[in-house]
Amino acid sequence: MDKATPKADLFKANLDRAAPLLAKLKDDGIGHMIDGQTVPSISGATFETRSPVDGSVLAKVARGNAEDIDRAATIAAEAFPAWRDMAATMRRKLLHRVADAIEARADDIAVLECIDTGQAHRFMAKAAIRAAENFRFFADKCTDARDGLNTPSEEHWNISTRVPIGPVGVITPWNTPFMLSTWKIAPALAAGCTVVHKPAEWSPVTADLLAQIVKEAGVPDGVLNTVHGFGEEAGKALTEHPAIKAIGFVGESATGSAIMAQGAPTLKRVHFELGGKNPVIVFDDANLDRALDAVVFMIYSLNGERCTSSSRLLIQQSIAEPFIEKLTARVKALKVGHPLDPATEIGPLIHERHLAKVCSYFDVARQDGAVIAVGGKTHDGPGGGHYVQPTLVTAANAKMRVAQEEVFGPFLTVIPFGDEKDAIAIANDVKYGLTGYVWTNDMGRALRVADALEAGMIWLNSENVRHLPTPFGGMKASGIGRDGGDYSFDFYMETKHVSLARGTHKIQRLGI
């Protein structure tokens, strides 16, 4: 379908593409993928996954528990030596094949992701392509994974190398689940680790598709295993399993704390990508048109269910009024609708419980004394699902709950500030530290603010544009560790030091 195709035709094409896939999903259900086989839970237990569009049951999903995790972890441990020792060039070839297969099925992945999560098609179409890019990028890094340093001393050559840590657990959330899981799984596989993946229980559909794609691409059985189920059952068991050497986790900060405690007895290495309450700071000398576009995009795209969303707008007092006026008009004009409709900018939220959480902040805002300038209600959308009006909260201050807590929806809190010092203090006055966005044409100020912000990633005069070699991760309650480029290998690999003597140094002689 090219750009000239009318939107109504594209909507119909998306619905037509989704229909047979959904029918098959309903018939087949979703099993675990363990050792290359689709299997039910040992207990036979299942749970239902429902569409956020209309609440209909999409599939019965195997509900894994500690027994299923044990099976998958044991298989991952058995598959590890051969995968570790496979020539890196062969691993590279296989991971490129996975990328090819994702690209070939990108349209299927996009429509299924939309129906399973409520995300708008305009974003999910790109998410599948980005997932393929993640595999390609790390496929090409397979041959560098073991690289180390030579740091010679007078009597020795000191060489470091890296070896894969072993079977690892990957636990992922429900926001952009396909793209996000590839971001963790691709580097783990490239490093030579085998994986047990526990996808989020609210979005199991495309995780199953990924497991199938990886198998069909020829990755040996047992290298990627997927166990579905709930966090407190399957997720917890994965973090406690002795064969699993590390946990790559993306999700809420409170869950990260729980995982750290659960993993302590087996000394798990952990990598956490957690919540955010990210500031976008707009100074009065900025290019305000570009800033406005970025402000709107970074909180209302992906339903605001995005860890890097700029959910706090810090606007300089001198320009607050005209900027908020333009912002208000843009938020009012956002199109809420069916996720497969290409015109849709905001789809239904993932789950009724999440809708209730987001809506609870309307009262919180009012009780705090802030003003709901736009939205503040559920939205009557097609299918009657979990739609919410995009919401803009003004007249807030930094101490209010709407300025402190992660809402994780299309919900923006506006906080005015006086000067640079004031902006930095407000920006840092939260428990999180994932991203920060700064808009100013004063280069010195941009650099000063970037230095002062307590966040793992800063964009100056830009929205979040991901470049895969760069470090991705947060400070404070937003995470531990970095993903991306070589940083991913620091997590999935052990650094080993090998010292070679020149044979000339004096060895102390005892017991003579």
Q: Nearer Cβ to ligand NAD, position 172 or 440?
A: 172
What pairing do the DSSP bridges indicate for beta strands 493-501 and 46-50?
unpaired
Which CB, 262 or 316, lies closer to ligand NAD?
A: 262
Q: Supply the minimum distance, in Å, between the C-beta of residue 73 and ligand NAD.
A: 14
Closest approach of Cβ 332 to ligand NAD, in Å?
Answer: 26
Q: Which is nearer to ligand NAD, 111 or 250 (CB)?
A: 250
d(CA 88, CA 140): 10
Alpha-carbon torsion (454, 459, 462, 463), positive or negative: negative
Output b/e per residue, 79-112; b: 16+ Cβ within 10 A: bbeebbeeeeeebbebbbbbbebbbebbbbbbbb
At closest approach, how far in Å is the CB of 280 from ligand NAD? 16
In a 13 Å sphere around the CA of 109, the CA atoms on its Cβ side amount to 30
Question: What string of H, E and C letters represents the secondary structure of 119-186?
Answer: CCHHHHHHHHHHHHHHHHHHHHHHHHCCCCCECCCCCEEEEEEEEECCCEEEECCCCCHHHHHHHHHH
Please, which residue, 298 or 320, has the CB nearer to ligand NAD?
Answer: 298
Q: How far is the CB of 121 from ligand NAD (least distance, A)?
A: 20
Displacement of CA 407 from its chain's centroid (Å): 16
Closer by beta carbon to ligand NAD, 161 or else 404: 404
Q: Which residue, 489, 466, 498, is CA-closest to 144?
A: 489
- Residue nearest ligand NAD by beta-carbon distance: 231
Q: How far apart are CA 199 and CA 170, in angstroms?
A: 8
Question: Could you give phi then psi for residue 94, rounded to 5 degrees?
Answer: -65, -40
As annotated, the active-site residues are: 273, 307
Within 13 Å and on the Cβ side, how many CA atoms surround 255? 21
Of the two residues 233 and 341, which places its CB atom closer to ligand NAD in the complex? 233
Residue 173 or residue 192: which is nearer to ligand NAD going by CB? 173
Residue 448: partners with Cβ closer than 8 Å, 6 or more residues away: 420
**What's the min distance (Å) between Cβ of 67 and ligand NAD?**
16
Beta carbons of 121 and 110 less than 8 angstroms apart: yes
User: 92 or 198, CB closer to ligand NAD?
Assistant: 198
Q: Provide the minimum distance between the beta carbon of 250 and ligand NAD in the complex, in angstroms, as a whole number.
A: 5
Distance from C-alpha of 200 to C-alpha of 172, rounded to nearest angstrom = 6
Strands 46-50, 57-62: pairing is: antiparallel
Could you give the count of Cα atoms lying within 13 Å of 413 in the half-sphere of its Cβ? 31
Quote the CA–CA distance of 472 and 58 in Å, as a whole number. Answer: 33
Q: How far is the CB of 263 from ligand NAD (least distance, A)?
A: 9
For binding to ligand NAD (CB under 6 A), which residues are involved?
Answer: 171-175, 180, 198, 200-201, 230-232, 235-236, 239, 250-252, 255, 258-259, 262, 273-276, 307, 406, 408, 434, 474, 478-479
Q: Tell me what percent of the chain is helix, strand and coil, each rounded to the nearest 5.
A: 45, 20, 35
CB of 457 to ligand NAD, least distance (A): 10
CB nearer to ligand NAD: pick between 117 and 440:
117
What is the distance between the alpha carbons of residues 212 and 480, in angstroms, rounded to a whole number? Answer: 31
Least Cβ distance, residue 60 to ligand NAD (angstroms): 18
Q: What one-character DSSP code corresponds to residue 331? A: H
What DSSP designation does 65 have?
-
Mapping DSSP to helix (H, G, I), strand (E, B) and coil, where does residue 374 land? strand
Shortest separation between residue 498's beta carbon and ligand NAD, angstroms: 34
What residues have CB less than 8 Å from 414, skipping those under 6 apart? 312, 313, 315, 320, 324, 327, 373, 392, 393, 394, 395, 396
Q: Judged by CB, which is closer to ligand NAD: 10, or 69?
A: 69
Q: How far apart, in whole angstroms, are the C-alpha atoms of residue 264 and residue 418?
A: 45
